[in-house]
Chains A and B, each alone.
Chain A
Amino acid sequence: MTLLSIQGVSKHFRGLTAVDRVDLDVAAGEICGVIGPNGAGKTTLFNMIAGELKPDTGTIVFSGERIDGLSSDKVCRLGIGRTFQLVRPFPGLSVEENVIVGGLLRRSHVGAASERAHELLRRLDLYDKRAQTASSLTLPDRKRLEVARALATDPKLLLLDEVMAGLRPTETDRLVAVLRELNSDTGMTIVLIEHVMRAVMALASHILVLHHGAAIAQGVPEAVVRDPAVVESYLGAESVA
């Protein structure tokens, strides 16, 4: 069953074509990776799915409903959670409060939301830091905090924008394991933008490659990373080995 269906989506910024007629179908329960060089339009594509930007052309359908052009809060309420590439937790709030805010979206009592927050903070290894203010965290911790906040909104689809960046390899493996677990436990669908190929290869069952806004390849990871166009534009020859 297709959960997210993107068809012919484009976005132009003045003269620049940031996203050029991209199609993507993501099945429910799938983990999909979006890769490509900097400036390829990955984050712009995310922002259109999440309601931050309105596509110039094309349609985005989520669980049978058109969502292109909806505001970001409506999109989130429909079941899409996201993180930001340039992290933006609520800086003056504590780690715990950040996640409680997310938990309150579908829970009316702070008690229930904080229970959910604690559970997620444990999963993401932030429980011991729950009383710190978010602004005092290191960048990798802030990224994990954004993941926790997004998860607290109980999304059907989670959009992760470079959450592995800056993590040490062991931390990457840990976060990969957590995401895998969430995916298999709850059937949550994940679309992730990622430069860390180690993480993409470990997680994704489907990969979309963007270059200059256009989809130059998509399919199963093993095939995509051997695609000559992908190697040429993004991965570089040595990474295939």
Chain B
Amino acid sequence: MRALTHGLTRRSIVLLAVLLAVLVALPLFAGDYLITVLILILYFAYVGQAWNVMMGFAGQLSLGHALYVGLAGYLAAFLFKDYGVGPWIGLLAAIPLTMAAGAIIGFLALRFGVTGVYFAILTIAFAEFARIGFDHLDIVNGSGGLFLPVVQHDQSDLWLLRGPPTMFYYVILAATVVALVLSRLLLKSRIGYFWLAIREDEQAARATGINTFRYKMAAVVISAGMTAFAGVFYAFYYNNLFPEQIFHISRSIELIVGPIIGGLGTLIGPIVGAFLLTGLSETLTSALGAVGLDLPGARQVLYGICLLFVIIALPGGVWPWLARRLGLGEPR
């Protein structure tokens, strides 16, 4: 418990508690539309947090995290549909699967000295292999997609992840909190210090006795394992999986924008980034709808311009700036 709060100012703890209380109470007031937007935000906060462990902490760029989302989603959905295995048991199978996939990619890259952008390209390649492979994998209906039976949304069945949006909201909220706590515990422990050292200067990290291969592998594997939950959640929330969607490179890219905008390597950055991005996207949609502007692509262009300004104005991300503004000290 001490490790969890050590070094945090009183102000940060109070602020986090208030934020959490608001999020817990929100479904009492919010309508269905707001709930679905919040689910999307928290989904990106969760998966951004998982990606941040690898890139933000250990400095290893992955542009293929859609691979882990897709593998986990497919495995859990397949087990549920064909064998009646519940999603939580499915998750227990999906975590080792994604970790193994991460370990294979990490091993191939790190063992043979593929680093930096070349490593990133390798991660893209594996996600693409999976996309094309699943297109032809008949056991999960190939490019036709895998569908979960949709049921009436009145009863919440937490064990089978069947229920109304509010249930999904609380599930992803809890997961986001768990990911935040886990990330903080990792960052404040020995492995976290070693990751930061590797991110800052790999050669100097080795000269300080750090087995950089082992710790980079650990970052890839832990990040992949954390991402598994996002895949299972995705499958049971949307009830459909298409290789062309879930493994697509745009999926890998959209999940990394949040942590970058929010503040790479920070704990709160991925959450702040997810709120900003999804919030911005939804605001633009309704604003454009309100003024009646119906040009194709107008929303994306405006979205891109907004991101551009954020990156120019706050290259370190929004959270470090916000934390200083709020007088919270510790930017990480």
A234 at the interface (CB under 8 A from B): no
Q: Is there an interface contact between B188 and A82, defined as CB atoms closer than 8 Å?
A: no
Mark A80-111 against chain B: 1 for CB-CB distance below 8 A, else 0. 00101000111111000100111011001110
Please name all residues of chain B whose beta carbon is closer than 8 Å to the beta carbon of A43 when the two chains form the complex. Answer: none
A218 at the interface (CB under 8 A from B): no
Quote the shortest CB–CB distance from B322 to chain A (angstroms): 19
Q: Is there an interface contact between A97 and B201, defined as CB atoms closer than 8 Å?
A: no
Partner of A101, one of B188, B194, B203, B211: B194
Q: Is there an interface contact between A91 and B193, defined as CB atoms closer than 8 Å?
A: no
**Which range contains the number of B residues in contact with the other chain?**
20 to 34
Please name all residues of chain A whose beta carbon is closer than 8 Å to the beta carbon of B203 when the two chains form the complex. Answer: 52, 72, 88
Most chain A CB within 10 A, of B190, B204, B206, is at: B204
Q: Is there an interface contact between A101 and B197, defined as CB atoms closer than 8 Å?
A: yes
Complex CA distance for A221 and B265, rounded to whole angstroms: 50
Complex CA distance for A82 and B201, rounded to whole angstroms: 15
Complex CA distance for A101 and B206, rounded to whole angstroms: 11
Complex CA distance for A51 and B110, rounded to whole angstroms: 19
Please name all residues of chain A whose beta carbon is closer than 8 Å to the beta carbon of B205 when the two chains form the complex. Answer: 90, 101
Q: Is there an interface contact between B200 and A50, defined as CB atoms closer than 8 Å?
A: no
Q: Is there an interface contact between A102 and B196, defined as CB atoms closer than 8 Å?
A: no
Inter-chain contact count A-B, CB under 8 Å? 71
A222 at the interface (CB under 8 A from B): no
Given contacts A91-B201, A108-B190, A110-B189, contact A149 B208 (CB under 8 A): yes
Q: Is there an interface contact between A88 and B193, defined as CB atoms closer than 8 Å?
A: no
Partner of A73, one of B196, B199, B206: B206
Complex CA distance for A100 and B193, rounded to whole angstroms: 8
B207 at the interface (CB under 8 A from A): yes
Q: Is there an interface contact between A91 and B190, defined as CB atoms closer than 8 Å?
A: no
Q: Is there an interface contact between B190 and A89, defined as CB atoms closer than 8 Å?
A: no
Q: Is there an interface contact between A93 and B208, defined as CB atoms closer than 8 Å?
A: no
Complex CA distance for A76 and B203, rounded to whole angstroms: 12
Complex CA distance for A50 and B203, rounded to whole angstroms: 12
A10 at the interface (CB under 8 A from B): no
Q: Is there an interface contact between B210 and A105, defined as CB atoms closer than 8 Å?
A: yes
Q: Is there an interface contact between A93 and B197, defined as CB atoms closer than 8 Å?
A: yes
A66 at the interface (CB under 8 A from B): no
List the interface of chain B (C-beta within 8 A of A). 188-190, 193-194, 196-197, 199-201, 203-212
20 interchain pairs, CB-CB under 8 A: A52-B207, A72-B206, A73-B208, A73-B209, A73-B211, A73-B212, A76-B206, A76-B207, A90-B205, A91-B201, A92-B199, A97-B193, A100-B193, A105-B208, A105-B209, A105-B210, A109-B190, A113-B190, A113-B193, A153-B208
